[in-house]
A and B are shown apart, each in its own frame.
Chain A
Amino acid sequence: MILEYYRPETLEKALLLLSNQTPKTVPLGGGTVLNAPSPEDYAVVDLQALGWDVIEQRGRELRIGATASLQMILDHGAIQPALRKAIQQEAAYNLRQSGTAAGGLVSGGGRSPYLSMMLAMDADLVWQPNDAVVPLGEFLPLRGGLWPGAVISEIRINAQIQAAFHFIARSLADKPVMIGAAARWPSGRTRLVLGGYGKAPITILDGEANQGVLDGAETAYLTAGDQWASAEYRSEMARVLAQRCLEEFE
């Protein structure tokens, strides 16, 4: 249950509030996850007054404010069609208005299309204080921990890389049981991400794509079985979706 609510108007005040640990104090973006009923007691710091709901393009880079809504990203003319598709798959229209760029990365699970796509695009998270830049891939394993006195202010992605997104679900708007997301830089660097399972999507490849990557994808999901799909199925689909993603870059 939310015990305290704050809406600071400066970053300094926000950081000060977020340094409180009693009760546990967390940043509030759109609130689609935090505002749901919870047995846990905590305080929230609403970031809406910090002016972070903006998206700015600087050269190849798209700087997405932490509280920019998923719909704002979707509506931005510079984003790749694959990212657009992933966001559409992430949530229906209403929740895309409230769900935020950073919130989706902090709370998204393994079956999150948006998180999978952003991981494939090697999104950088800009943390305050000090504008510390942390790649999303490095942040994901640490998500369970507390980050007192710190908050994500911005997400940066390269808007000019190629991107691909494929999923398998029971219907066109269902939560996927299998996701393949990939990005390719002009240098040939390729990142391939598998999602649809577990607590977070996983990166299969970051480098030059080669023949072994499909085997790697299949192997990565060899034990990825749960109530939603068997490991046998996911493992084989990992190969199929990985191949489809990579074929888009050919």
Chain B
Amino acid sequence: MKLNLTINGSQIEVESTPNETLLKVLRRMGYFGVKHGCETGECGACTVLLNGKVVNSCVTLAAQADGKAIETIEALGEHPEQGWKRTEGLHPLQESFAESGAVQCGFCTPGMILAAKELLARTLDPTESEVRDALSGVLCRCTGYVKPVQAVLHAAAVLRGEAKPGEMTGESELLQALFRPDSLPPAPPPAIGPGGTRTAVRILPKVMVAPDSETRTQIGKPEIKVDAIKLVQGKPAFTDDFERRGMLVAKVLRSPFAHARIKKIDASKARALDGVAAVLTHEDIPRVAYSSAGQSDPIPGPLDMFSLDDKVRYVGDRVAFVAAETEEIAIQALSLIDVTYEALPAILDMGEALDNEIILHDQPEYVDFDQSDASRNLAAHIHIDIGNVEHGFAEADHIFEHEYEVPKVQQAHIEPHIVVSYWDEDDRLVIRTSTQVPFHARRILAPVLGLPIKRIRVIKPRIGGGFGGKQEVQIEDVAAHLTIATGRPVRYETTREEEFIASRSRHPMRIKLKTGVKNDGTITANAMYALSDTGAYGCHALTVTGNTGHKSMALYVGDGKYREKPNIQFIADIVYTNTASSGAFRGYGVPQGFWPVERQMERIARALKLDPIDFRLKNALRAGELQPFSTAWSEGREPSPEIIETNGLVECVQQGRAAIGWDSKYSNKDWQQVPGKPHLRKGVGVALVMQGTAIPYLDMGGASIKLNDDGSYNLLVGATDLGTGSDTVLAQMAAEVLGVPVEDIVVYSSDTDFTPFDKGAYASSTTYISGGAVVRAAQAVAEQMMMRAAKMLNSQGGYALVDPTEIVLENRLATAPDGRSVTMAEIAHNSLHHEDQVQIMAVGSYVSPVAPPPFAAQFAEVTVDIETGMVTVDKLVMAVDSGIIVNPVTASGQIEGGMTQALGYAVSEEMVYDEKGIMRERDFSDYHIFAAHEMPELTTIFVETFEPSHPFGVKAVAEIPMDGVAPAVGNAIQHACGADLSKNPATPERIWQALKQVTPG
């Protein structure tokens, strides 16, 4: 059927079919700012304006739009300078989103901007509540909505023609505001607009400055992200925004059984279907055992999976691959594959897995790692003894023993897994994929595909969120096998349902915790047993669960003599079940540990009538002490002792308790009542947490820097920016060393052919490890620049000779002590064209001997309905010992987004299976992640410490916000109403059940 569409002002006739969605039509016409995030209209990534109204194009038929005007992000502004052509520049909303730090991965950004545009067409004076409602249809998994909301309010002020109210115009002002000592009077608040709203360009966190940090020119500046401008324009930056002639569409046939043997599989009818290019079953491809976990070599886990197998191990497991000319044909082909299954009994409860007669992995190719034992359904086992817990328990006055449970939850990045593969002209397989681990992917795929590493090129374009879900070689082999089979380009993208039923998730665990405590609150021993469910395959089984103990059980060492010799035990069994595989998810096992540990601390404090904060700090790890686990375990590798050099936990507590108003609320019964609402109770809770920064002696980052003719630099990194802003902070580090503004650093990331090796984005390591590599590369380039500058200056004659080491690189100049200088561009021209020509460039690598932990104090304020159990989280405050903050806007965005993800873990997110192993959650309607209009107030505070192991003193901030929200909310619920939860999320019914156990009074 022919459709007449007016797209961004141009009348266009389009050929379509009755079932084609507007999303598909727009994307095939090249409007790549319209994104696919789901198929049910829940995520809003596909937002467009239809006759001026916001609609989700994934649930709008193209035919419904016939005769109407469609507006996409491409209709808004564009880069103001395009060579000799000048444009009107970006739309104020685009500018505001970029300036405010509202863009993280950028996948939802076009949808948010369009939703905001529609709002501002209705009113230029919106309230914050109206902004949040307008954005409510666009889910963002990265930002926590703080900065997008502020961006819209700010754009509204600009469009009203006001001088930018509250804008901090100068960099020095920004820095002054950021680093204002407490003794100075507070900065004036932003001006109040006519709508009663306050607007500022950037939402900046409070930063307590480390006394020993130097003043820098780039480090600590709230630079606009280097990728923000392209993302606010909806530029084709993502994996799917790529076209190649003759591209096939891949689909995967998935198992309807939780456990079954494929007795017979007949794909002849599917192969015979017109438009089908290939159907692959386990009979068609080599049987190579591997692990999909994107980790350094050797992968610390069993090799227990195949691209396709004759056995399926969960509902949703792979059965066959299809490549066809269209998606519809591919789907039809799936239905034509005849499979005869022999259903096998399944294990759906992790408590029944160990030593069950039902064995998931009975294949002879299974390759063990460490203590894995497939015959026992054991993917990994951990036993760590530090000191002697039995002695510690014997010395205790009180023993506390409780059992806890944490759920399976999903990363829920808005961009699904997506890959495109094709042969290049040199018969090398190119895999363009949304991955956190391009180099690991290449290494892992080589044997699976029967190709040497050198014949595989992995390109990582922009990633639309990952959170660990893309630290997995989860779909790349599907497209690659089909490209090998057909010789043609193949695109494979998971549906949202596949994201839920067949992607990785956080490991659910059942945890027993036993703690010995003296009357004065000294912890004498702490023992944890974790039963961890890895699902059908052992991806990250050992390392995720190891971190559960390694971080959460390291925080409370005890006081007095126990500080020197703590008694800690951590034992874990990581078992196979017939459920979708667990894997890496932001926090990497640590949130699972801190739910029980921090609930346990709360229970102890209450039972012994101790102040919950004092009790925690009395026993918490301090600077100068040994990370107790560092001598016992290191992700399956040889451990080595690590001293905690910096720990700002006490300051974090001080800052956080002030921000939440702890002292006026915790012991205030009046405050806990809600006037006129006798069924409501308010409460506050706290949790202290620690994380790690990178994996010592193992994970390596690499970077190269090359000088260009104009004095700019290409920074090539293998690191992968998931939206965190790592490309920006890496550029800031390079700029700091090289004495140029960030705009002179052109960042490219990443491509296994061109960029240096990097382990990828995980383990909170990019700023620290990849940043270390960037600094080393920059220092090497700087040295060459200084030598060349000295040579140029010394050739002038008439002056004393300049020592290259005395040259200062600053403001795009290389300046000698006598005041003479040459520009970076002059140096570049001299070295590239004029004299002793050489390309100034360098490569840097970095591996850390330590994993300096960030620490944090997480506070929560809640209101509980004591009749229904429904809880509303009103406020979250997180004070983080962050090391030195490179970019306060991107760093605070990490905390806000992380707290929001963790909020879901606290109250709404979990994945549940029925008795047949079918998952309850298959879309964003059932799997509820927080939307803009239901968010609590979020406050971020950074307590800077200078971590001496890094040239700029940085530690990690990306993962730690996942750790404390759930237990802080749980503790606040207990404070509010006495409900004592052992299991998260805190659903209304769980709270209601717990309330029934509360003794009146």
Contacts and interface: CB of A to CB of B under 8 A. Distances in A.
Contacts of A5: 1, 18, 61, 63
B138 interface: yes
Contact of A35 (B60, B66, B133, B870): B60
Most buried by B among A32, A94, A230, A241: A94
A168 B907 CA distance: 13
Most buried by B among A7, A31, A227, A230: A31
B19 A94 contact: no
A92 B928 contact: no
A64 to B, nearest CB: 18
A41 B870 CA distance: 41
Contacts of B1: 5
Interface string A81-113: 000000010011111111000000000000000
A93 B115 contact: yes
B823 interface: no
B985 A170 contact: yes
Contacts of A150: none
Interface stretch (B36-44, B269-277, B640-648, B836-844): B36-44
B927 to A, nearest CB: 10
Most buried by B among A98, A169, A170, A233: A170
A32 to B, nearest CB: 5
Contacts of A229: 989
Contacts of B44: 92, 94
B133 A48 contact: no
Given A95-B137, A98-B60, A169-B870, A7 B66 contact: yes
B989 A94 contact: no
A48 B63 CA distance: 11
A173 B933 contact: yes
Contacts of A170: 907-908, 928, 985, 987-988
B134 interface: yes
A24 interface: no
Contacts of A172: 872, 933-934
B136 A2 contact: no
Interface string B38-65: 0111101001000001111001110110
B41 A94 contact: yes
B867 interface: yes
A59 to B, nearest CB: 30
Given A3-B18, A171-B928, A173-B933, A31 B60 contact: yes
Interface string A217-250: 0000000000111100100110011000000000
Nearest to B986: A170
A98 B928 contact: no
B385 interface: no
A1 interface: yes
Nearest to A229: B989
Given A94-B44, A173-B933, A173-B934, A46 B138 contact: no
Given A92-B933, A175-B928, A48 B18 contact: no
Most buried by B among A43, A93, A229: A93
Contacts, number: 129
B223 to A, nearest CB: 32
A97 B55 contact: yes
A92 B136 contact: yes
A170 B47 CA distance: 26
Interface in B909-930: 912, 914, 920, 925-926, 928, 930
Contacts of A98: 41, 55-56, 59-60
A136 interface: no
A29 to B, nearest CB: 10
A46 to B, nearest CB: 6
A227 B66 contact: no
Interface string A177-204: 1100000000000000000000000000
A35 B985 contact: no
Contacts of A97: 53-55
A1 B988 contact: no
A2 B19 contact: yes
B47 A94 contact: yes
A174 interface: yes
B370 interface: no
B342 interface: no
B327 to A, nearest CB: 10
B137 A94 contact: yes
A94 B54 contact: yes
Contacts of A144: none
B920 A227 contact: yes
B328 interface: yes
A142 interface: no
Contacts of B870: 168-169
Most buried by A among B19, B992, B993: B19
B412 to A, nearest CB: 14
Given A2-B18, A240-B868, A35 B61 contact: yes
A62 to B, nearest CB: 22
A233 B56 contact: no
Contacts of B53: 97
Contacts of B992: 233, 236
A199 B925 CA distance: 16
Interface in A130-170: 168-170
Given A32-B41, A36-B39, A1 B931 contact: no
A178 B989 CA distance: 11
Contacts of A175: 925-926, 928
Interface string B77-97: 000000000000000000000
Contact of A94 (B21, B55, B993): B55
A31 B872 CA distance: 33
A230 B912 contact: no
A36 B40 contact: yes
B867 A240 contact: yes
Nearest to A243: B867
B934 A1 contact: no
Given A32-B59, A93-B115, A230-B989, A1 B928 contact: no
Interface string B876-916: 00000000000000000000000000000001100010100
A194 B54 CA distance: 32
A97 B39 CA distance: 17
Nearest to A74: B133
A181 B933 CA distance: 22
Contacts of B928: 170-171, 173-175
A104 to B, nearest CB: 13
Interface string B8-49: 000000000011010000000000000000011110100100
A107 to B, nearest CB: 12
Given A2-B19, A169-B988, A92 B39 contact: no
A242 B655 CA distance: 44
B133 A93 contact: yes
Nearest to B873: A171
Nearest to B868: A168
Contacts of A31: 59-61, 64
A3 B865 CA distance: 49
A171 B41 contact: no
Contacts of B912: 227
Nearest to B327: A37
Nearest to B136: A92
A35 B988 contact: no
A4 interface: yes
A93 B18 contact: no
Interface string B964-1001: 00000000000000000000010111001100000000
24 contacts: A2-B18, A4-B18, A5-B1, A5-B61, A5-B63, A7-B63, A31-B59, A35-B21, A46-B64, A48-B64, A93-B134, A94-B137, A95-B42, A97-B54, A98-B55, A168-B865, A168-B868, A173-B934, A174-B908, A175-B925, A228-B920, A233-B992, A236-B992, A241-B868
Given A32-B41, A168-B868, A168-B869, 10 more contacts: A5-B63, A44-B18, A93-B136, A97-B54, A97-B55, A98-B55, A169-B988, A171-B907, A171-B930, A229-B989
